[in-house]
Amino acid sequence: MKKIILRGLLIFGIIIFAGIAVIGAMGYKMFSDALENKSLSEAAEEIREMEDFTPISELPQTYLDAIIAVEDHRFGSHCGVDPISIARATWNNILAHGLVEGGSTITQQLAKNMFFTQEKSFIRKAAEVFMAVKIELEYSKDEILELYVNTIYFGSGYYNVKDACGGYFGKSPEDMTDYECTLLAGIPNAPSVYSLDENPELAEQRQRHVVEQMVKYGYISEAEGETISSACFA
């Protein structure tokens, strides 16, 4: 009986390994094809040339800290891919028999926004990983964060941080309050759910989670977090 179980586990392991290898190969081809159509530098330059592009120097530090805390708290230390997040997501996907969790880093999300569709597939996910590593090799963390906030969707038809600030708050990104910074940082996780125009109550709940993550990872104290969350729109 033990031999049968071990043999079954071995076969299962081989099947899993073969599947990963195939997905990896197909993902690498998708990654290569994307770069043949447009180089990384060309894609980045297109973003920077947008009329509503916002340099990182014009973004409040509270907003940048909030984005990292809630989206990718190991952003400063990983190489574009977070093995811990991927392992957790992989296990959850296996349990769900499908792609229900991505474990994406900020860099992976940027790679997706720059080159790939929003379609959920393991092949696209693999391509995204290859592209994220390349981005990390060629750009600094500040450059990656800058490109990221200029390519993410904030709901209500706002596709970058400047549009979102103007649409939701009637101001430029540099003029956001700490409350607005944490409120805005929470929206991209699920734009249709946390849109301030559609679900302001849910957006406020998400804002409190953002603040909790900032406290958890040492960006602010508990007292500062309470002050931010109790504030109102300026």
pLDDT, one tens digit per residue, over 8-24 is 666 666 776 677 788 88
Q: Which is more confident, 20 or 110?
A: 110
Segment 213-233, tens digit of pLDDT: 999 999 999 999 999 988 765
**Residue burial 94-129, b: 16+ Cβ < 10 Å; e: rest:** eeeeebebbbbbbbbbbbbbbbbeeeeebbbbbbbb
List Cα–Cα distances, 76 to 50, 86, 133, in angstroms.
26, 17, 14
Kindly tell me if the per-residue pLDDT of 135 is higher than 60: yes
Q: Is residue 102's pLDDT more than 60?
A: no
* Range 122-140 average pLDDT: 94
pTM: 0.86
- pLDDT, one tens digit per residue, over 21-69 is 888 899 999 999 999 999 999 999 999 999 999 999 999 999 999 999 9
What does the pLDDT read at residue 12?
63
